[in-house]
Structure 1
Amino acid sequence: MKLDAPANDSFDDEITAIGDEFVDEEVEGPVDEQFAPALDASWDSSGSDYETFNTNGGFSGDVAEGPAVPEFLPLSDDAWGSSDADVQTWGPLVEEHPNCPDTAAGSEIDDKSSGRAWNYWDPVGYEDELASPHCVSRVLRDLLDLTKDPLTGVYIATVEHDITRFHVLMVGPSGTPYEGGFFHFLVQCPPEYPMQPPRVRLMNTDDETVSFNPNFYDSGRVCLDMLGTSNTPGWSPAYSISSVLVSIQSLLTDKPYFNDPYWSSDDRPQDCEAYSLVVEHETIRVAVCDAIEACLNGSSLCPPHLREVMLNLFMLYYDKYEKAVESKLELTGTDMRDPLFFQTYERGDYQYQTLLLRLRKLKGEVEALIKARGEDEQ
């Protein structure tokens, strides 16, 4: 999927990203005092439509700072909310994703009014759905809570004109096969939110060919009770956007094989290790190399701010990427077996030698970009 139109920067002053830095010291900024009254007013505006709310009662002009991201790239002013601070965590908004509904059997519902069939769990395809005032108010409150209590390794950028749709960049935690991977989720809160759960889709699955986790399907579907995407729906209106993101993040474990309910931690240790190898390889191939290449060539589906976050963090994680690949070069050409399905993985074999070359090439390109931007600012 590619975006056909350039990103729209018309709402640069809105709060559009929430995140934290990669470095050990965590920096949390205060919430602007003027932001809270705007949120409170939204709860009293149930009679207004979304367009009016978005224009007069939204985030515009009210800034809440979250933890910072280390700045390696000399970022342009239009990519960040302010040039007064060294690094900010909000950026410009972007247009909707193109329509690309999943067609897996048994996972669709019919929209008779439009004659189209959508996956009930998939935010892609619901671009024209109108947000309710109550949904908007609740989402605003949830996002404000995230500015006060940000999640480690999570960055958020909202979609233009619709605060109920947003992009989430989740960085794989250290000590796991996902370490340093950039996992891009599209989230939409339906009009019934919080009575109904958000719709969530993992966007970077290499054209629906890669499953990073027993709970992350290659279609992009995230299988969680609280999302209503498992056999035991468990959503509660007491849950929030933060609750959903924490639950998704908890799936990025050091032994993802045991996320499958059929296996316990005492079962098949050799299969657990084999599955982690597959996940690590595909994380570096798809969630690192493919993701950074897309940022550099302009084909990334992430908003500009999240692209900058990825480029910055790529340089910070680079040594770990290279070390992980170099330690497994001897596996190049061997079968990539997925033990969850007892078959050779679709990708065929491990490509560590190719990954090493790709990583080094990408490092050079990012360094060249940093140098070019520095020269432009002089």
Structure 2
Amino acid sequence: MSNHSIIRITKELADLQKSSDLSLAVACRDVDVRNVKAIIIGPPDTPYEFGFYEFQVKFGRDYPGKAPSVLATTTNGGRCRFNPNIYAGGKVCLSILGTWRGERGEEWSSAQGLESILISIQSLMSSNPYENEPGFETALDESAKKDQKDYVAKIRHESLRISVIQRLEEYLGISPAGTVAPFASLDGADDEDDEKDIEYDELSINFDPFKDLCKRRFLWYYDSYLLAISKAKTEVKDGQAFTRMPFECTGNTMEGKFNYTELERRLRLIKKTLDAETARWAEEGLVLLKKETTAAANLQRQYEQVVEAYKRDKKVTLDIELVDKNPFVWSITYIGRPMTNLDGGLFHIILCFSPRFPEEQPRAKFETTLFHHRIALDGTPCYNTKRAEDAKSHVQAIIEALEEESPPYDPRTLVNPEAAKLFWGSEEDKKMYNRKLRRAVQRSTE
């Protein structure tokens, strides 16, 4: 591959990784930029909502003169066709990829790149994907309308089952029977090298760059998943078979039956297991602290620096302490800024760090109940930081997400469905949102 091609791919990857777009993520091994993994978060208000769809992108030596090849890998082992243009075998039919005939001007050009490819794939994940199939774009008879509705229904079910639930169960070691695999303990590590082997051996064998991202996003969107299940239960019955579409054929279809009761059970077990994993980080952290490891020392140093920084910052009233002198668990007390909706509030936040930080990002939880569009019902805040390795940037990002009064609309940051609906609704809705928020702020000091 030419230097020009490698430089071009490297820049595209860097631009995407620095982007504030929460719908796309890309990664590759440092030694091989030609083979890229990408993940698309299913667009809101579609049957793909908040699903995790992964793709393999392979750049040839003639890139950008020729489009890369793209393979969908979220297919349930080749058994599920999630879209008329995304086959069970992984083929992605797009004119810019040269895998589908398009109109003049729709074919690949060197001005396009990885981001435009991923956005094009994302556009296939529409609210009515039935229309993506050629010849079915304008079908308006009653039979077609029923097929459209039935197609959306089964995609919504399988998006939850395969792209979310199966993926998270695999990450967490949850078996189909609902048992959770025991987690390796750090107690047997004799020194720091042993500890490193235990923590990173899996990463060296299997390149799975989106594991932590999907875990954190699951916590963001958990309430939305449950809401989708609650709504779907009113529309279909458990045991009801999926309707086969006219364009589906053997080996390239989406077969199965609805069972939202079972999906809800599995979702709740995933949430419980993730919470247990976060709690276990604290226990592992104490082991590493006792062993005087580099990871513990680094977090202790960052904690001390953050405390000093906020002592000097007169704009934010913030107190940070370690829980049980454990540098992996920070207790944050934030006092609402004057002249805002948070004025006078007293908010307690727990910030838990993984022993594998920053490869695994910290998880925060508000112990103070707060009605806010960026805070899930269990207290998980939705925030994003570009300095993942810097503990202070996480604290800053949480406070900024909490304080932002006129944020740009991004449905992927709205993790409390009821609060989000009011915040982005009518004037009356917004007034109701502010009243509920103020009541929660007042209760925070009781």
Q: So what's the TM-score if we normalise by structure 2?
A: 0.52
| Mapped contact 1:182–1:288 kept (Cα < 8 A) | yes
Alpha-carbon spacing, 1:374–1:304, altered in 2? closer, same or farther (3 Å): farther
1:341 aligns with 2:341: no
Task: State the alpha-carbon separation in 2 of the partners of residues 355 and 156 from structure 1.
Answer: 28
Give the aligned partner of residue 375 of structure 1. 283
Where does structure 2 lack aligned partners over 5 or more consecutive residues?
A: 175-201, 286-325, 327-446
Give the aligned partner of residue 331 of structure 1. 237
**SS of 2:267 mapped into structure 1:** helix
Structure-to-structure mapping, 1:59-70, within 5 angstroms: none
Q: Max radius of gyration: which structure?
A: 2
1:350 aligns with 2:258: yes
Residue 356 (structure 1) shift: 1.3
1:320 aligns with 2:320: no
Structure-to-structure mapping, 1:148-159, within 5 angstroms: 149-159=19-29
Which of the numbers 47, 53, 56 marks the counterpart of 1:186?
56
Task: State the alpha-carbon separation in 2 of the partners of residues 289 and 228 from structure 1.
Answer: 33
Alpha-carbon spacing, 1:297–1:160, altered in 2? closer, same or farther (3 Å): farther
**SS of 2:25 mapped into structure 1:** strand
**One-letter amino acid matched to 2:94:** L
Give the aligned partner of residue 67 of structure 2. 197
**SS of 2:28 mapped into structure 1:** strand
| Mapped contact 1:257–1:340 kept (Cα < 8 A) | no
Give the aligned partner of residue 251 of structure 1. 124
**One-letter amino acid matched to 2:216:** N
Residue 367 (structure 1) shift: 1.1
Cα deviation 1:123-178 (Å, max 9, x = unaligned): xxxxxxxx332320221232244356553411111124111211111111111100
Residue 338 (structure 1) shift: 2.9
| Mapped contact 2:17–2:26 kept (Cα < 8 A) | no
Give the aligned partner of residue 271 of structure 1. 147
Cα deviation 1:318-345 (Å, max 9, x = unaligned): 1111122233335211110132437896
1:228 aligns with 2:98: yes
Which of the numbers 247, 257, 262 marks the counterpart of 2:135?
262
Alpha-carbon spacing, 1:342–1:242, altered in 2? closer, same or farther (3 Å): closer
**One-letter amino acid matched to 1:269:** K
Which of the numbers 144, 158, 172 marks the counterpart of 1:296?
172
User: RMSD value over aligned CA atoms?
Assistant: 2.5
Which of the numbers 133, 158, 180 marks the counterpart of 1:282?
158
Task: State the alpha-carbon separation in 2 of the partners of residues 334 and 148 from structure 1.
Answer: 44
Task: State the alpha-carbon separation in 2 of the partners of residues 262 and 223 from structure 1.
Answer: 15
Cα deviation 1:344-375 (Å, max 9, x = unaligned): 96533212122111111111111111111133
Which of the numbers 140, 145, 154 marks the counterpart of 2:10?
140
1:162 aligns with 2:32: yes
Task: State the alpha-carbon separation in 2 of the partners of residues 302 and 355 from structure 1.
Answer: 27
| Mapped contact 1:337–1:343 kept (Cα < 8 A) | no
Where does structure 1 lack aligned partners over 5 or more consecutive residues?
A: 1-130
**SS of 1:194 mapped into structure 2:** coil
| Mapped contact 2:86–2:93 kept (Cα < 8 A) | yes
Cα deviation 1:288-346 (Å, max 9, x = unaligned): 11111122239999845410000001011111111222333352111101324378965
Give the aligned partner of residue 70 of structure 1. none
Structure 1: 4+ residue segments shifted above 6 A? 298-302, 342-345
Alpha-carbon spacing, 1:132–1:340, altered in 2? closer, same or farther (3 Å): farther
**SS of 1:327 mapped into structure 2:** helix
| Mapped contact 1:199–1:227 kept (Cα < 8 A) | yes
Task: State the alpha-carbon separation in 1 of the partners of residues 40 and 34 from structure 2.
Answer: 18
Query: Greater relative contact order (Cα 8 A, min sep 6): structure 1 or 2?
Result: 1
Alpha-carbon spacing, 1:326–1:147, altered in 2? closer, same or farther (3 Å): closer
| Mapped contact 2:16–2:26 kept (Cα < 8 A) | no
Which of the numbers 302, 308, 312 marks the counterpart of 2:212?
308
Residue 199 (structure 1) shift: 1.0
Task: State the alpha-carbon separation in 1 of the partners of residues 94 and 78 from structure 2.
Answer: 19
Task: State the alpha-carbon separation in 1 of the partners of residues 18 and 224 from structure 2.
Answer: 31
**SS of 1:142 mapped into structure 2:** helix
Give the aligned partner of residue 217 of structure 1. 87
| Mapped contact 2:23–2:40 kept (Cα < 8 A) | yes
